[in-house]
Amino acid sequence: MAALHGQQNTFFIPSSVEQEMLKHMYTSLPQEACGVVLGEAAAGGIRISRFQPIRNVAPNPLHHFSLDDAAWIRCVFHEPQLIGIFHSHPRTEPVPSIEDLIALPAYAGLLQVYLIGSPNLTVRPDQQMRLNGYQIQSNLDYPSKAEQQKLYHLQPAQLCVT
């Protein structure tokens, strides 16, 4: 995956995986949904192959997400294709919030993909999702603890649902 740093990429997502994320998002409403995506780096981008829902254990799940620690640790140690994270914004646009950016260092060192979905309530509410993808990029190779907050940023990525 190191070869992908600094490049603009496309995230290829099978429609079945997008539907799994959409279903998890709608069954979690009005709370934020969250989970991880599995896949691999490939020529021209990243191919996402699977979505694994994870329970949101945030103290205020209506406005924030926090992955269940036990499920997250299992994924980190037992899912060799762990490549990204998904969460939803039930009432706002699918763009990174201040809270998302503050929490980013907790996940970013392990991941390449950051997906945010929002319900598209202008169509059929249970059938549509606005989905944005971002590539997690590092600003520094070996930061000090003091620089950790500024270490990562999210670069918009093109999504291709297949």
Q: Collapse the DSSP code of 150 into the 3-class scheme (helix H, G, I; strand E, B; otherwise coil) and give the result.
A: helix
β-sheet bridge partners, residue 150: none
Please state the pTM of the whole predicted model: 0.85
Strands annotated E in the chain? 10-13, 34-42, 45-54, 82-88, 113-119, 129-138, 152-161
The CATH number for 17's domain is: 3.40.140.10
Within-domain flag for 151: yes
For 54-64, write each residue's pLDDT tens digit.
999 999 999 99
| Distance from C-alpha of 48 to C-alpha of 60, rounded to nearest angstrom | 29
For 21-55, write each residue's pLDDT tens digit.
999 999 999 999 999 999 998 888 999 999 999 99
Q: Collapse the DSSP code of 102 into the 3-class scheme (helix H, G, I; strand E, B; otherwise coil) and give the result.
A: helix
Range of the domain at 134: 9-161
Within-domain flag for 3: no
CA atoms within 13 A on the CB side of 61: 17
Within-domain flag for 90: yes
Within-domain flag for 1: no
